[in-house]
Amino acid sequence: MQFGLIEMWNAMAALAKAVAVTLIILSIISIYFFIERQLVFARARRKSKQIAPKLAQMLKAGQIKEALTLSSKSEYKGSHLARVTAAGIQEFFDGKEAGLSFEEQIETAQRGCERATILFVQELKRGLSTLATIATSSPFIGLFGTIGGIINAFRGMALTGSGGIGAVAQGIAEALITTAFGIGVAIIALWCFNILNSKVEVYAAEMTNTTSQIVDFFIRKSEK
């Protein structure tokens, strides 16, 4: 009896084939989200590197409105630093127009930055819950293939009327392959999730740092 991929596929029960196809689809989804999120993170990093020196120079020169105009441009929408800066400055101006005290203006600017940070982090995390679900469910999906393989093994025993290794080998191999496949897909999804989640934490820390810098800028500006 041959154990090539084609021979194995032809000998697999319908349940095991369905499990294999499902796991292949889940692995493709995992890789897709990993690549798509990496592109989003790279765009955020690239845009932020472009705008950060310009914003720092404008704020240092006291050009607050110009900094708001620059950070609000659509071309920098993907920049996490621009998003936080624009939110903080806009809230500061809105508080000033509303007649709030300076302390209240600082607080509303900080809350604006924090809201922008939360929203952007949620955008960055898009797809991560799917990866987590795939990582946790793939081994259990593979167990369905294990069940199918065992059933196939017993069927082989029934057809041959023998309990020898030749009768059950195909079914046992099928069970082990689907189980291993499920674990492999889970490892890939978990690996992708951990890498992407660690990057989200880095961006969140950078936005928190930008928030404190914006608040410190307004405080230093009022003391002059």
* pLDDT tens digits along 175-220: 778 888 899 999 999 999 999 999 999 999 999 999 998 888 888 8
Which residues, 6 or more positions from 170, have their beta carbon under 8 angstroms from its beta carbon? 1, 3, 8, 11, 152, 153, 156
Tell me the CA distances in angstroms from 56 to 31, 51, 66, 97, 180, one per residue in order.
Answer: 37, 9, 11, 24, 52
Q: Has residue 153 got a pLDDT over 60? A: yes
User: In whole angstroms, what separates CA 134 from the centre of its chain?
Assistant: 12
Give the per-residue pLDDT at 3: 55
The domain spans of the chain are 10-136+181-223
